[in-house]
Amino acid sequence: MSTTTVHRVLNFSAGPAVLPESVLEEIRRDMLALPGVGMSVLEISHRSKAFEDILARAESDIRALAGIPSNYKVLFLQGGASLQFSMVPMNLLGAGQTADYIDCGSWAEKAIKEAKKVGTVNVAASTKGDNYSRLPKPSELKLTPGAAYVHMTSNNTIEGTEYKSLPDVGDVPLISDTSSNMFSGPIDIEKHGLIYAGAQKNMGPAGVTIVIIREDLLARAAEKAKALPTMLSYNVHAENTSLYNTPPAFAIYALGLTMKWLRDLGGLEAIDAINERKSRKLYAEIDRTGFYRGTAEKDNRSRMNVTFRLGTEELEKQFIKESTAAGLDGLKGHRAVGGMRASIYNAFPEVGIDTLVSFMQQFEKKHG
């Protein structure tokens, strides 16, 4: 097979985002025919043995990586994290109950908006007044005794903040939107009732959403499930091992390869150390002279999405223009907050951080 040399830019996109090059190579190698199958993953039946194996392997790698206990189900769903904003309350917020939501970013705000359409919501704390530049402190949380659940966002993709430890919610199930930092380091599954993540940031391509749900929450949802559209019921997907209808086969396959890549790398402890090193290097440059300014409060800084600004919007435009020309792609901040954002997920190569840092130093010399 001939391998053409292709030019790949440094991809700082917030999502869909960079994938490991070895995963892309494997996809390309097996694109015409999966070994021993004679068909591509795009063409096989989701009821075939070959696909069942792909699904089972993806699940067992996820379970092994995160040490998921047997009383949790792992579901492969569609509709993105955005559909989870609705599915969570539709399945788990009963009449007469209240759900607590921590409003710590733009995605949390969207989750709250959807939950309010379904039932009673208490915003337990909000940092919207600070442009979500920080996370609420534990002392700011006003939790509802006996709440149906507490919803949080573990990493705020747009604003660049990230929880370093989980809020204490007592016996109330903790539900976390982990879309942008799932498997960037160890995760304490047992402290959660439900965890969800759209895959396209840190786990694979777009098209599949991972939901990890504790069995007692499934039991609790069973009664409500009877009145729900079939496709929106966690119980239906759990009972059918994510094969109630046609799953996103290619996305699951590519996610599976990415999980295997992560295991081969040494798992969550290993990637944790790498992510710590990568983000430290970049924040050190941001803090070095004051030419750049980090937008998130220091204690709450994200290791995945590094947000920073320059003195003027003109200079920021220039930064984006020059960095793009230099092959550093996707550094423009989210339109809601402006400035710059470097998304440096698991698959973003460490050498790319060095390239960005030296670009930043040159840019400062030229314009500072």
Ligand X SMILES: *Cc1c(COP(=O)(O)O)cnc(C)c1O
Contacts with ligand X, residue ranges (CB under 6 A): 15, 80-82, 107, 153, 157, 177, 179-180, 198, 201
Please identify, using beta-carbon distances, which residue of 160 and 198 lies nearer to ligand X: 198
Please, what is the minimum distance in Å from the beta carbon of residue 65 to ligand X?
A: 20
Provide CB contacts within 8 A for 171, sequence distance 6+.
Answer: none
Please identify, using beta-carbon distances, which residue of 34 and 344 lies nearer to ligand X: 344
- Contact (Cβ atoms closer than 8 angstroms) between residue 141 and residue 118: no
Residue 345 structure tokens: 């997920």
CA distances 235 to 78, 93, 211, 217, 347, Å, are 15, 15, 12, 10, 33
Enclosing H/E stretch for 84:
helix 80-92
Give me the catalytic one of 61, 73, 201, 278.
201
Please identify, using beta-carbon distances, which residue of 166 and 326 lies nearer to ligand X: 166
Give me the catalytic one of 177, 224, 260, 278.
177
Closest of 317, 304, 307, 322 to residue 361, by C-alpha: 322
Please identify, using beta-carbon distances, which residue of 124 and 199 lies nearer to ligand X: 199
Please, what is the minimum distance in Å from the beta carbon of residue 151 to ligand X?
A: 11
How far apart (Å, rounded) are the C-alpha atoms in residues 175 and 237? 18
Please identify, using beta-carbon distances, which residue of 50 and 340 lies nearer to ligand X: 340
Closest of 196, 186, 179, 352 to residue 266, by C-alpha: 186
Please, what is the minimum distance in Å from the beta carbon of residue 248 to ligand X?
A: 12
Please, what is the minimum distance in Å from the beta carbon of residue 366 to ligand X?
A: 33
Peptide bond into 16 cis (omega under 30): yes
Q: Is 107 a catalytic residue?
A: yes
Give me the catalytic one of 73, 100, 107, 224.
107
Closest of 293, 308, 316, 309 to residue 367, by C-alpha: 316
Please, what is the minimum distance in Å from the beta carbon of residue 96 to ligand X?
A: 28
Please, what is the minimum distance in Å from the beta carbon of residue 110 to ligand X?
A: 7
Please, what is the minimum distance in Å from the beta carbon of residue 157 to ligand X?
A: 3
How far apart (Å, rounded) are the C-alpha atoms in residues 141 and 124? 5
- Contact (Cβ atoms closer than 8 angstroms) between residue 143 and residue 121: no
Chain residue whose CB lies nearest ligand X:
80
Please identify, using beta-carbon distances, which residue of 98 and 153 lies nearer to ligand X: 153
How far apart (Å, rounded) are the C-alpha atoms in residues 28 and 188? 35
Residues 114, 119, 122, 125, Cα dihedral to 10°: -20
Please identify, using beta-carbon distances, which residue of 346 and 359 lies nearer to ligand X: 346
Alpha helices in 171-312 (DSSP H): 215-225, 234-239, 249-265, 267-289
Q: Is 188 a catalytic residue?
A: no
Q: Is 137 a catalytic residue?
A: no
State the catalytic residues: 107, 177, 201
